[in-house]
Amino acid sequence: MTEEKPLKLRGWASPFVYPTALFIRDYLLEHGEGYAQEMWRQLKKAREGRNVCTCEGFKRNYIYILKKLGLIEEARREPVPGQPNWHERRYYRIVPGKEDLSDEWTNPQKVWKMKRYGYYKHKPTS
């Protein structure tokens, strides 16, 4: 017996994928706080394996930028149970007053690049 592979759809035929930053926002609103790997695992489960980056990419592309935009902050650090030599888990929460849906939550990479460099897609020509 062969195992059926899930159908890979592209373009307009593909199902809607809930934006990652909004998923993080809703996760933190529901749970209060969470660490990056925990949120990444829930995202992977919610998307059923579709369009999910690595955990390291998740931290680099979303957690870092959301922190720099002032949307989330580190709540506490805790040692990993049973792993004393590992780095501590960093738990994050939404900064009070930043819970409302905004352009920063819907497209954080674009907002970050605009704030940092002054342009989004192409560098303006002089």
102-116 residue pLDDT tens: 888 988 988 888 888
Residue type, 60: R
Helices (runs of H) and strands (runs of E) counted in the chain:
6, 3
Dist. CA 88–CA 78, nearest whole Å: 5
Q: Does any domain span residue 126?
A: no
* pLDDT of 12: 57
Q: Does any domain span residue 122?
A: no
Q: Does any domain span residue 41?
A: yes
| 3-state DSSP assignment of residue 57 | helix
Q: Does any domain span residue 37?
A: yes
Q: Does any domain span residue 97?
A: yes
Task: Give the tens place of pLDDT for each residue, 59-69.
Answer: 988 999 999 99
- Which structural domain, as residue segments, surrounds residue 40? 17-117
In the chain, the number of structural domains is 1
Q: What is the dihedral of CA 44, 45, 51, 57, to 10 degrees?
A: 0
Does residue 75 carry a pLDDT above 80? yes
Q: What are the φ and ψ backbone dihedral angles of 106, each rounded to 5 degrees?
A: -80, -30
CATH number, domain at 64?
Answer: 1.10.10.10
- Of the candidates 70, 77, 81, which has an alpha carbon nearest to the alpha carbon of residue 104? 70
Q: Does any domain span residue 28?
A: yes
